[in-house]
Amino acid sequence: MITFEELKETKDKLKDAKALKNRLKNIESAYDKQTKFNRNLMQGLNKLISKYFTEKKKAYAHEYKDKAGKTTATLQISKAGIGKTSSWNTNITPFTELIDINAKEYSHSNNGLIGEVIINKDIYDKVHSHLSTNGQYILESLKEVYENNKIVPPDCNKLKLIINSSETEKDMLNVKGKTFIQIFDMGRCPTVSISTDEKHCDCRYNSEHVFRLNDIKLNDERNFVYSLYTEYHAKELNEALDKYLEETKERMDTWNKFNEELKEKLAKFLVLMEI
């Protein structure tokens, strides 16, 4: 088998592995990008809604009650934006996300402006009534854009594919059985792992975890075996990234269209607010 010293002397020096690492570094994870849209848009909408809120201090737009009829939370609008209070905290907690997946059974959970207001006609009408003409236009625009582009809450995408490791490579990696490429949305870019467990969640302390492509340093002798393995399997790893991008494309296209359409509709307000 080639040694690390021999590898350093070769002309190409892990050419395919380097190209793969550069490609991975430039792919923004679908989850990360959706999360940024989700939070940044809500932050901007809170500023706009509070600016065009017509009450002097705050308005109680809606009360949430339990089965016994006891008020457990309220939906409020104030100069802080729009959000909820709970039975133990009467200060408004503005929504931090446009659309959220927190469990509905918790009355204090913030299910996002879309989940709490836009898709609930009764609450939508109440919030709408407390806003100025401009504020109403902003809320109506959000409702229309959502109806045109049904965004869903950001979700970690997980992709698992078998990678064909030879017996020599398994010995080299000190693994037995099947090996898998696993791609997770866990940071700025997708995390690509090699594992021997099909159900493995990406944990570097798990005994089935072999290595993360994101972490290896190609010119470091300590990563030599992993670098060599990456070079030999660059084609399969690139194909896995292609599949990841294909599987996240529809969701990302919807978020991109939603973002662009909302920005276009609210352009004059965004300029005024410098957001």
pLDDT at 102 over 60: no
Same domain, 96 and 128: yes
Same domain, 112 and 177: no
Same domain, 43 and 124: yes
Same domain, 110 and 195: no
Residue 205, Cβ density class (10 Å: 0-12 exposed, 13-18 middle, ≥19 buried): exposed
Mean pLDDT for 79-88 is: 85
Same domain, 245 and 226: yes
Same domain, 147 and 159: no
Least confident of 18-22, 158-162, 259-263: 158-162
Same domain, 134 and 81: yes
pLDDT higher at 269 or 76: 76
135-186 pLDDT, tens digit per residue, is: 999 999 999 999 999 999 888 888 889 999 988 888 888 888 889 999 988 7
Same domain, 146 and 180: no
Question: Following DSSP, what letter does each residue of 215-271 receive, concatenated?
Answer: T--TT-GGGHHHHHHHHHTHHHHHHHHHHHHHHHHHHHHHHHHHHHHHHHHTHHHHH
Cα–Cα distance measured from residue 240 to residue 125, given in angstroms and rounded to the nearest whole number = 47
Same domain, 102 and 231: no
Q: Which residues pair with 182 in a beta bridge?
A: 160, 193
Question: In 3D, which of 92, 109, 91 has the Cα closest to residue 100?
Answer: 109
48-67 pLDDT, tens digit per residue, is: 999 999 998 889 899 988 88
- pTM of this prediction exceeds 0.75: yes
Mean pLDDT for 68-82 is: 89
Same domain, 12 and 86: no
pLDDT at 199 over 80: no
Question: In 3D, which of 41, 42, 35 has the Cα closest to residue 155?
Answer: 35
For residues 96, 158, 237, 227, the Cα torsion angle rounded to the nearest 10 degrees is 80
Domain range spanning residue 8?
A: 4-30+155-249
Same domain, 140 and 259: yes
> Count of domains in the chain?
2
Backbone angles phi and psi of 252, in degrees to 5: -65, -40
Q: How many helices and strands (H and E) does the chain possess? A: 10, 8
Question: In 3D, which of 183, 175, 163, 176 has the Cα closest to residue 233?
Answer: 163
Mean pLDDT over the full length of the chain:
85
